[in-house]
Amino acid sequence: MRETHLEDGKWWVSPYNFEPSVRESLNLPEKVEIHDATLRDGEQTPGVVFSVDDKIEIATKLDELGVDRIEAGMPAVSPDDVTAIKEISKLGLKSKIFTFARAMKTDIDLAIECGADGVVIEVPIGYPKLVTQFGWTWRDVAEKTAPIIKYAKDNGLHALFFPYDTTRARKDDLTNLCNYIMDHTAPDSIGIVDTMGCATPEAIKHMVRWVNDMTGLPIEIHTHNDFGMGVATELAAVTAGANCVHSCANGLGERTGNAALEELMMGLHLLYGYDTNYKLDKIPELAEMIAQKSNIPIARNKPVLGHGNFIRESGIGINYVMNDPLVMFATHPSLTGKLGEVVLGKKSGKASIIYKMGEMGLGELDDDTIGAILAEVKAAGIAKRDVLTNDEFANIVAAMTKK
Ligand SMILES: CC(=O)SCCNC(=O)CCNC(=O)[C@H](O)C(C)(C)COP(=O)(O)OP(=O)(O)OC[C@H]1O[C@@H](n2cnc3c(N)ncnc32)[C@H](O)[C@@H]1OP(=O)(O)O
Ligand SMILES: O=C(O)CCC(=O)C(=O)O
Residue 48 Cβ contacting ligand 1 at under 6 Å = no
Whether 303 maps to a domain, the answer reads no
- Total domains in the chain come to 2
pLDDT at 8: 85
Could you tell me if 276 and 324 lie in one domain?
no
Could you tell me if 130 and 203 lie in one domain?
yes
The whole-number average pLDDT for the span 324-349 is 95
Work out the burial of residue 30: count CB atoms within 10 Å of its CB; fewer than 13 is exposed, 13-18 middle, 19 or more buried. exposed
The whole-number average pLDDT for the span 315-344 is 94
Can you tell me which atom of ligand 1 is nearest the CA of 164? 1
Whether 183 maps to a domain, the answer reads yes
Span 66-96, pLDDT tens digits: 999 999 999 999 999 999 999 999 999 999 9
Q: Cα separations (Å) of 201 from 120, 194, 197, 223?
A: 24, 11, 11, 11
Return the ∠ at Cα 21 (arms to 19 and 26), rounded to 5°: 95
Ligand index nearest the alpha carbon of residue 255: 2
Distance 145 CA to ligand 2 centre (A): 17
Could you tell me if 280 and 325 lie in one domain?
no
Ligand index nearest the alpha carbon of residue 257: 2
CATH classification of the domain holding 23? 3.20.20.70
Among residues 232, 259, 294, the one where a domain terminates is: 294
Could you tell me if 66 and 13 lie in one domain?
yes
The whole-number average pLDDT for the span 193-205 is 98
Could you tell me if 330 and 257 lie in one domain?
no
Could you tell me if 152 and 192 lie in one domain?
yes
C-alpha R_g of the chain = 25
Could you tell me if 276 and 345 lie in one domain?
no
Could you tell me if 205 and 274 lie in one domain?
yes
- Give yes or no for residue 403 having a pLDDT over 80: no
At 181, the amino acid letter reads I
Residue of the nearest CA to atom 10 in ligand 1? 77
Distance 225 CA to ligand 1 centre (A): 23
Whether 306 maps to a domain, the answer reads no
Q: Which of 44, 74, 133, 148 has the most ligand 1 atoms within 8 A of CB, as the residue to mutate?
A: 74
Among residues 265, 294, 323, the one where a domain terminates is: 294
Whether 302 maps to a domain, the answer reads no
Is pTM beyond 0.80? Reply is yes
pLDDT at 402: 86
Whether 94 maps to a domain, the answer reads yes
44-51: long-range contacts, CB 8 A cutoff, minimum separation 24 = 44/253, 44/254, 45/252, 45/253, 45/254, 45/257, 45/294, 45/296, 46/254, 47/295, 48/252, 48/294, 48/295, 48/296, 50/84, 50/293, 50/294, 51/80
Could you tell me if 97 and 222 lie in one domain?
yes
Among residues 249, 269, 294, the one where a domain terminates is: 294
Q: Which of 77, 121, 160 has the most ligand 1 atoms within 8 A of CB, as the residue to mutate?
A: 77
**How far is the C-alpha of 282 from the C-alpha of 335, rounded, in Å?**
9
At 129, the amino acid letter reads K
At 242, the amino acid letter reads A
Residue 74 Cβ contacting ligand 1 at under 6 Å = yes
Residue 130 Cβ contacting ligand 1 at under 6 Å = no
- Give yes or no for residue 335 having a pLDDT over 90: yes
Residue 122 Cβ contacting ligand 1 at under 6 Å = yes
pLDDT at 267: 98
Whether 248 maps to a domain, the answer reads yes
Span 6-20, pLDDT tens digits: 998 999 999 999 999
Whether 304 maps to a domain, the answer reads no
Can you tell me which atom of ligand 2 is nearest the CA of 224? 10
Distance 163 CA to ligand 1 centre (A): 14
Span 126-167, pLDDT tens digits: 999 999 999 999 999 999 999 999 999 999 999 999 999 999
Ligand index nearest the alpha carbon of residue 71: 2
Distance 77 CA to ligand 1 centre (A): 9
Could you tell me if 267 and 377 lie in one domain?
no
What residues line ligand 2, using a CB cutoff of 6 Å? 41, 44, 122, 164, 193, 195, 222, 224, 254
Distance 85 CA to ligand 1 centre (A): 19
Cα dihedral across residues 202, 203, 205, 210: positive or negative? positive
Q: Which run of H or E residues covers position 33? A: strand 33-36
Pairing of strands 6-7, 11-12: antiparallel
Q: Which residues are paired to 163 by β-bridges?
A: 123
Can you tell me which atom of ligand 2 is nearest the CA of 164? 9
Q: By C-alpha distance, which of 298, 303, 377, 389 is closest to 341?
A: 389
* ipTM for the whole complex: 0.93
Question: Could you tell me if residue 317 is left (phi over 0), alpha (psi between -120 and 50 degrees) or otherwise beta?
Answer: left
**How far is the C-alpha of 370 from the C-alpha of 360, rounded, in Å?**
15
Ligand index nearest the alpha carbon of residue 106: 1
Measured from the Cβ of residue 391, the count of other Cβ atoms closer than 10 Å reads 8
Could you tell me if 325 and 290 lie in one domain?
no
Can you tell me which atom of ligand 1 is nearest the CA of 104? 41
Structural domain boundaries, residue 353: 311-401
pLDDT band at 58 (very low <50, low <70, confident <90, very high): very high
